[in-house]
Amino acid sequence: MNPSHNLFIIGPTGAGKTSIGRRLAAHYGLTFIDLDQEIERHCGVDVNTVFEIEGEAGFRQRESTLLEEISGRHDVLLATGAGAVLAEGNRRQLGQRGYVVWLQTTIAQQLERLERDHRRPLLAVPDRQERLQAMARVREPLYRELADLAVPGEHGSVASASERCIALIDQHWQRPSAFPRQTA
């Protein structure tokens, strides 16, 4: 059991971190933050432009800087980018500062969900399936190691997936009360 004021969502591209994260934040009364959207807000340009100008290394540095700052807050639900787990420092911050939920999904589900999405620079390749498989080989062991709770991906609506997540989280997450009791 990892008692924490924060809830952090990790998982592959297309797992539903943002869509489900928004619903979980509302349910638990947490401030919702999407890490990629925060990067865009701070830079004033979209993620693709950051990749074009600074490359993946520049993007990852920005991601780590914001993750460190945001994960230090209280009562946030942070939807990380799929690759945020690649940096050891990010994994350490996430593991120490929040309850980490891994939204799992299959390559087939990712391909289906991302079919019309052309905003993701790492998927701007001729063979998306091959790229997703390569990313999964590297990232899944990191997700597994970091997660306090793994939520299996299933087909269905965002609402039903969110309800399933809430049921599982409620069984496993012991959120500290906002005002700890004083002992005399």
Closest CA relative to residue 98, chosen from 19, 157, 35, 41: 35
Averaged confidence pLDDT in the chain? 88
In this model, does residue 181 exceed pLDDT 80?
A: no
Per-residue pLDDT averaged across 57-75, rounded?
96
Q: What is the pTM of this model?
A: 0.88
Residue 127 annotated as part of some ligand binding site: no
β-bridge partners, 100: 8
CB neighbour class for 138 (10 Å; exposed up to 12, middle 13-18, buried from 19): exposed
The angle that helices 47-71 and 88-97 make with each other, rounded to 10 degrees, is: 40
Per-residue confidence band for 96, with pLDDT thresholds at 50, 70 and 90: very high
At 68 the pLDDT is: 97
Alpha carbons 76 and 102: distance in angstroms, whole number: 16
Per-residue confidence band for 3, with pLDDT thresholds at 50, 70 and 90: low
The more confident residue out of 156 and 89 is 89
Please, which residues have CB within 8 angstroms of residue 115's CB and are 6 or more apart in sequence?
A: none
pLDDT digits (tens, 9 = 90+) for 104-162: 998 888 878 777 766 766 666 778 888 889 999 999 999 999 999 999 887 678 888 89
Alpha carbons 49 and 33: distance in angstroms, whole number: 21
Residue 139 annotated as part of some ligand binding site: yes
Residue 60 annotated as part of some ligand binding site: yes
Residue 160 annotated as part of some ligand binding site: no
Q: Which tokens sit at 36?
A: 């990629």
Per-residue confidence band for 89, with pLDDT thresholds at 50, 70 and 90: very high
Q: What is the share, in percent, of the chain residues with pLDDT greater than 70? A: 89
Domains, the chain, ranges and CATH? 7-172 (3.40.50.300)
Closest CA relative to residue 153, chosen from 184, 115, 95, 107: 107
Residue 175 annotated as part of some ligand binding site: no
Residue 92 annotated as part of some ligand binding site: no
Residue 19 annotated as part of some ligand binding site: yes
For residue 78, the surrounding DSSP H or E stretch is strand 76-79
